[in-house]
């Protein structure tokens, strides 16, 4: 992955440990975007109409292929938050919903604002046991969670979700993949997740204004989605009553610039190889976890879990965040600590540089 770094200009200026906030754009995507807008400039509506009719379906197909979902069950949305809110407008209020305490607000707030009966579990080293027991004891019918936690990077065990489905086959599992998609090889159809939504501006490196929602076939019987528009019918005046489920999430025109960026980035990641990306992230995760734990900067919930993502929240003091940023490390303050996050364009040397700086703050 070392040779890819030259395509990301930010990396020549900083140690970028902030993909959990925003993934980097690369030179090749910038070139594609410039060509897209040049075509729009000289082609006007002729270019745009053709792109919307021909290119947007290719985007949908690319997303489905990348995620292992069915094309007809794949919806393009501006971001996860909008997609989830549209979905929940069609979910009956008699469900018992299990959420994770302090999960990303755009996961929890859409449920709490709609009058569902809500239960919570703490995010710690016993997360999976807490989820299982709460579902069993409280007749939970919907589990909604981020696959990877935004603050400290705790990642739900994929095998655990399969176990849940086997034990509670009627449980609806809704997952936010924004901090997950683009970090590992993933096949939606064989997973236990019923609905997966993702924004493309983090680990997919696609910039803002694009995302997607994936649905299993049987979800169409669980939700009565009301959102609709002319685009839902594929611009067919007689098509209102034949709209397929996923198209209810696409009521209006889709921006070929933003969704074209998503397709470009997914093709780029596929070109690098998701197995290679996953291997690089596993290496960085293990190295960072060991180093940060040895410095006593990680919470027990992370240290005691067997595996982890590449998002870490380290303990902060008055100067730690400022020291890192002064030394050219791009990171974020989250949850009372400093959040560091690494993607495939990071190197073990980046981790070593950060560790060296951190040692001066202890």
Q: What's the confidence (pLDDT) of residue 224?
A: 93
Tell me which residue range forms the domain holding 7: 2-25+274-359
What digits encode the pLDDT tens for the residues 118-159? Answer: 999 999 999 999 999 999 999 999 999 999 999 999 999 879
Q: Are residues 161 and 12 in the same domain?
A: no
Structure tokens at 362: 């202890």
Structure tokens at 356: 């060296």
Query: What is the Cα–Cα distance from 135 to 98, expressed in whole angstroms?
Result: 7
- pLDDT (tens digit, 0 to 9) for every residue of the chain, 362 residues total? 667 899 999 999 999 999 999 999 999 999 999 999 999 999 999 988 888 888 999 999 999 999 999 999 999 999 999 999 999 999 999 999 999 999 999 999 999 999 999 999 999 999 999 999 999 999 999 999 999 999 999 999 879 999 999 999 999 999 999 999 999 999 999 999 999 999 999 999 999 999 999 999 999 999 999 999 988 888 878 888 888 999 999 999 999 999 999 999 999 999 999 999 999 999 999 999 999 999 999 999 999 998 999 999 999 876 899 999 999 999 999 989 999 999 999 999 999 999 999 999 88
Q: Are residues 99 and 212 in the same domain?
A: yes
Classify residue 37: in a domain, yes or no: no
Q: What's the confidence (pLDDT) of residue 240?
A: 86
Classify residue 20: in a domain, yes or no: yes
Based on the structure, what is the number of domains in the chain? 2
pTM: predicted TM-score of the whole model, two decimal places: 0.95
Q: What's the confidence (pLDDT) of residue 318?
A: 66
Q: Are residues 314 and 213 in the same domain?
A: no
Classify residue 34: in a domain, yes or no: no
Query: What is the Cα–Cα distance from 315 to 337, expressed in whole angstroms?
Result: 5
Q: Are residues 52 and 106 in the same domain?
A: yes
Q: Are residues 246 and 280 in the same domain?
A: no
Q: Are residues 97 and 187 in the same domain?
A: yes
Query: What is the Cα–Cα distance from 297 to 97, expressed in whole angstroms?
Result: 33
Residue 74: helix, strand or coil by DSSP? strand
């Amino acid at each position: 992955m070392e040779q890819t770094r030259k395509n990301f200009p930010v990396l020549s200026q900083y140690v970028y440990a902030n993909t959990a906030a925003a993934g980097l754009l690369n030179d090749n995507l910038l070139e594609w975007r410039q060509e897209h807008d040049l075509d729009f400039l000289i082609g006007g509506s002729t270019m745009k109409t053709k792109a919307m009719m021909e290119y947007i379906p290719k985007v949908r197909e690319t997303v489905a292929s990348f995620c292992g979902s069915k094309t007809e069950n794949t919806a393009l949305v501006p971001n996860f938050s909008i997609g989830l809110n549209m979905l929940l407008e069609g979910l009956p209020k008699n469900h018992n919903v299990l959420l994770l305490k302090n999960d990303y607000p755009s996961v929890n707030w859409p449920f709490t604002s709609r009058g569902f009966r809500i239960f919570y579990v703490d995010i710690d080293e016993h997360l999976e046991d807490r989820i299982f027991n709460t579902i069993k004891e409280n007749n939970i019918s919907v589990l909604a969670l981020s696959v990877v936690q935004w603050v400290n990077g705790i990642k739900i065990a994929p095998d655990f979700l399969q176990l849940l489905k086997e034990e509670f086959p009627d449980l609806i599992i809704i997952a936010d993949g924004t901090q997950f998609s683009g970090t590992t090889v993933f096949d939606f159809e064989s997973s236990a997740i019923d609905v997966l939504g993702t924004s493309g501006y983090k680990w997919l490196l696609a910039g803002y204004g694009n995302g997607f929602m994936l649905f299993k076939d049987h979800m169409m019987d669980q939700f009565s989605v009301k959102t609709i528009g002319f685009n839902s019918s594929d611009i067919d005046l007689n098509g209102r009553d034949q709209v397929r489920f996923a198209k209810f999430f696409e009521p209006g025109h889709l921006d070929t610039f933003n969704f074209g960026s998503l397709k470009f980035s997914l093709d780029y990641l596929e070109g690098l190889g998701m197995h290679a990306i996953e291997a690089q992230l596993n290496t960085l995760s293990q190295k960072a976890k060991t180093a940060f734990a040895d410095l006593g900067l990680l919470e027990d919930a992370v240290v005691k879990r067997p595996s982890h993502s590449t998002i870490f929240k380290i303990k902060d003091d008055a100067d730690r965040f400022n020291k890192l940023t002064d030394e050219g490390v791009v990171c974020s303050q989250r949850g009372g600590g400093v959040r560091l996050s690494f993607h495939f364009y990071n190197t073990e040397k980046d981790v070593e540089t950060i560790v060296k700086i951190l040692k001066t703050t202890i």
